[in-house]
Amino acid sequence: MIPVSYSYRSLMVRWKTTLMTATGFTLVIAALIVMLAFINGLAEVCAISGDPNNVIVLNEGCTDEILSSISRATASQIETNPLVVRRPDGTSLSSRELFGVRTVYDKKIRDYVLMPFRGVSPSAFEVHNTVHVVSGRTFRPSQSEVIVGMSIKNAQKVELGDVLEIARKKWKVAGFFAAGGAALESEVWGDLDEMAGQFKKEGSYNSIVVRAESPARAKDLARSIDSSAQISVGAQTELDYYAKQAESTNFLRSAVWVIAWFMGIGAIFGVMNTMFAAISQRIKDIAVLRLLGFMSWEILIAFLLEAIMVSLIGGGLGMLVGYSANGFTQRFTISGHEVQFRFLVDASLLALAAAFSLIMGIMGGLLPAMSAMRVRPLEAFR
Amino acid sequence: MSTPPLRSNEPIVLVDGCTKNYSRGSETVSVLKSVHLEIARGDFVGLIGPSGSGKTTLLNLIAGLDQPTTGRVVINGVEISSLTEAQLALWRTNAIGFVFQFFNLIPVLTAFENVELPLLLLNMSRRRRREQVLNILELVGLGHRLTHRPGQLSGGEQQRVGIARALVTDPALVVADEPTGDLDSRKSQEILDLLQELQVRLNKTILIVTHDLAVAARVRRLLRISDGQLIDDTENPESVTHPLFGSLNVSNAARVKRAEAARS
């Protein structure tokens, strides 16, 4: 084998060109990591948002609760399902919920922003048992009070006692709630009946969330409600529901890869260009190596290695830059929910970026290395 | 590839009725015309001729870099004109040492690493490689310049590294194509002295291609090629004539040196 130091030193001798070519890789890899970290963060919010014990019931055919409408009678029938957990007094553990999105004027940024709101009864806090008030107190019915999720509080700098104007009615902020980072934290909660009156939705709900004893029971419950002959609703576990919401990130993921490849092709041509130039200056090196007895595939590997080294240097720097985006918070609207999440750079993303860099290096290095392999020693000396 | 045992009187180089044609468009150019040549083991042979006479082509056939159009080339008992490219590459590593006019060292590698290169192909332990490289660099007088890169060495020193690289695999035959062509006359003499000394000490067969009469005057046997044919074959040439440069008498000094070399 031709020693690795040959490839490495040849790069270092022309370190300016090497650095410039590697910068192309740095930019591509950094951009790829930041974009995928964005999607990862989004997917993570969806993944932690579902409670495996809960089943969410929507209109048949509805994939999102904002379009769903379930009557009071249907809700009662759902709650009679024997798989739903009962309280000691025999009532079922169920949360009837109203959900909507309105624009709210944000004084800080002087613009309207989307505000998801949810009308709930006290049982919502039993069904969504990760939700708890962290400051202030919960809302009182019929007092035009709301509680605000922590991620809205942080993003819009809402204070206790602030007044939010939703649907021409002023609501006073009585407290703030957390939900373990789930999508619910990006919502405003108020009294179910009061909100129904305000939004003229009395007598119907957007969704019913019922609780089962275990994740396995929840699956059975969803199946049982789904196949019920009396009511035409669609039931799925919250895990499944949020997993479907996360599917909308798939198209984003595809878009990111399209962008990454377009940029990547730029980097590939960059390394191709420098490698062709390097090889044309080293035809005699190649000829000597061949005369000494090195095989053409050994020449191929030596030059391919050079391109791969460029890609790894550049890719490594790109990974450092991309990793600095880890934990950066951002808001994003996903099917009506404006959710807050943090960019997530994990080991698998870094491994993916390294592999992408390596593939770009190989693709950029292969053609020049093949041309090096075909150098005829005798002609090179003429 | 095992080398068959040689009878001592068997030539190390046998070029048997070789022709070499190149096609230039529709025209066929005959560069070598039925050349027959034998070189004895341990000989110091010069090949002289004007440009385009076919001397480099003949050298390439002998070194296994090119294949004859017709005829056989047998080196050290191996018929190399019938080897595949991969076999030929391995054979070259073991059997041939090359010395080039422009040294052709790898600029990013040190003197030591340049000389070590051919040994990397020979499945040899690191320690043995190091030993062998140090020995040969010491022999060419560069024991103190191991870590210098070609750019940090003078032309003469670079050619010494080139010679060390050619000899490090202990090849039976060393071919040198204009080894002093890029050196001034003092350095040329030093390099020729070195080649001559190594040829005697290590009992190598050396074939030098040149058009430098001063070089030609130093060999034991001089072949003259013209128009693709060997036209003259002189042992211990007293004077060398050249179609362009006239004649050159072999100096007394050179003759004494040759005589001394023959004695030792």
pLDDT at B241 over 70: no
- Facing A295 at nearest CB: one of B86, B102, B165: B86
pLDDT at B258 over 60: no
- Facing A293 at nearest CB: one of B66, B90, B100: B90
Quick check: B107 and A289 CB within 8 A? no
pLDDT at B251 over 60: no
pLDDT value of residue B252: 47
> Nearest CA of chain B to the CA of A361: how many Å?
22
Quick check: B90 and A5 CB within 8 A? no
Residues B32, B55: Cα–Cα separation, whole Å: 9
> Nearest CA of chain A to the CA of B236: how many Å?
31
Quick check: B109 and A295 CB within 8 A? no
The three-state secondary structure class of A90 is coil
Q: What's the ipTM?
A: 0.80
Query: For the segment A22-61, what is each residue's pLDDT rounded down to a tens digit?
Result: 999 999 999 999 999 988 888 888 877 888 899 999 988 8
Tell me the mean pLDDT in the region A282-290.
Answer: 90
Pairing of strands A111-120, A94-106: antiparallel
pLDDT-derived band at B2 (thresholds 50, 70, 90) equals very low
Residues A81, B75: Cα–Cα separation, whole Å: 95
pLDDT-derived band at B81 (thresholds 50, 70, 90) equals confident
Q: Where are the domains of chain A?
A: 4-47+248-380, 54-211
In this structure, how many other beta carbons lie within 10 angstroms of the beta carbon of residue A82? 8
> What is residue A229's DSSP assignment?
S
Residues B16, A329: Cα–Cα separation, whole Å: 81
> Nearest CA of chain B to the CA of A319: how many Å?
30
Cβ contacts (< 8 Å) between B86 and chain A: which residues? 295
Q: Where are the domains of chain B?
A: 13-263
Residue type, B248: L
Do B1 and B90 form a contact (C-beta atoms < 8 A)?
yes
> What is residue A251's DSSP assignment?
H
Closest CA to A127 of A72, A33, A208: A208
Residues A321, A350: Cα–Cα separation, whole Å: 11
**Cβ neighbours of residue A79 under 8 Å, at least 6 residues apart?**
A92, A94, A208, A210
Tell me the mean pLDDT in the region B10-17.
Answer: 90
- Facing A288 at nearest CB: one of B89, B106, B121: B106
Closest CA to A284 of A368, A379, A380, A373: A380
Cβ contacts (< 8 Å) between B110 and chain A: which residues? none
Query: For the segment B99-120, what is each residue's pLDDT rounded down to a tens digit?
Result: 988 888 999 999 999 999 999 8
- Which of the residue ranges A64-68, A299-303, B175-179 has the most confident prediction, judged by mean pLDDT? A299-303
pLDDT at B245 over 50: no
Cβ contacts (< 8 Å) between A5 and chain B: which residues? 108-109, 113
Distance, CA of B85 to chain centre: 21
pLDDT at A334 over 80: no
Quick check: A285 and B118 CB within 8 A? no
Query: For the segment B33-64, what is each residue's pLDDT rounded down to a tens digit?
Result: 989 999 999 899 999 988 888 888 898 899 88
Mean pLDDT of chain A: 89
Residue A261, burial from CB neighbour count under 10 angstroms (0-12, 13-18, 19+): middle
Query: For the segment A90-143, what is each residue's pLDDT rounded down to a tens digit?
Result: 899 999 999 988 888 777 778 888 888 999 999 999 999 889 999 999 999 889
Quick check: A3 and B92 CB within 8 A? no
Quick check: B121 and A6 CB within 8 A? no
pLDDT at B8 over 70: no
Residues A21, A313: Cα–Cα separation, whole Å: 10
> Which CATH topology does B13-263 take?
Rossmann fold (3.40.50)
Quick check: A288 and B104 CB within 8 A? yes
A162-176, A299-313, B241-255: range with lowest mean pLDDT: B241-255
Do B230 and B62 form a contact (C-beta atoms < 8 A)?
no
Query: For the segment B184-234, what is each residue's pLDDT rounded down to a tens digit?
Result: 888 888 888 888 888 888 888 999 998 778 888 888 899 999 998 988 888
Tell me the mean pLDDT in the region A276-289.
Answer: 90
Residue A251, burial from CB neighbour count under 10 angstroms (0-12, 13-18, 19+): exposed
Cβ contacts (< 8 Å) between A15 and chain B: which residues? none
Closest residue, chain B, to A376 (C-alpha) = B65
pLDDT value of residue A46: 80
* Token couple for A12: 């270092």
Do B161 and B103 form a contact (C-beta atoms < 8 A)?
yes
pLDDT at B263 over 70: no
- Facing A377 at nearest CB: one of B65, B93, B105: B65
Cβ contacts (< 8 Å) between A295 and chain B: which residues? 86, 89
Percent of chain A with pLDDT over 90: 53
- Facing B121 at nearest CB: one of A284, A293, A381: A293
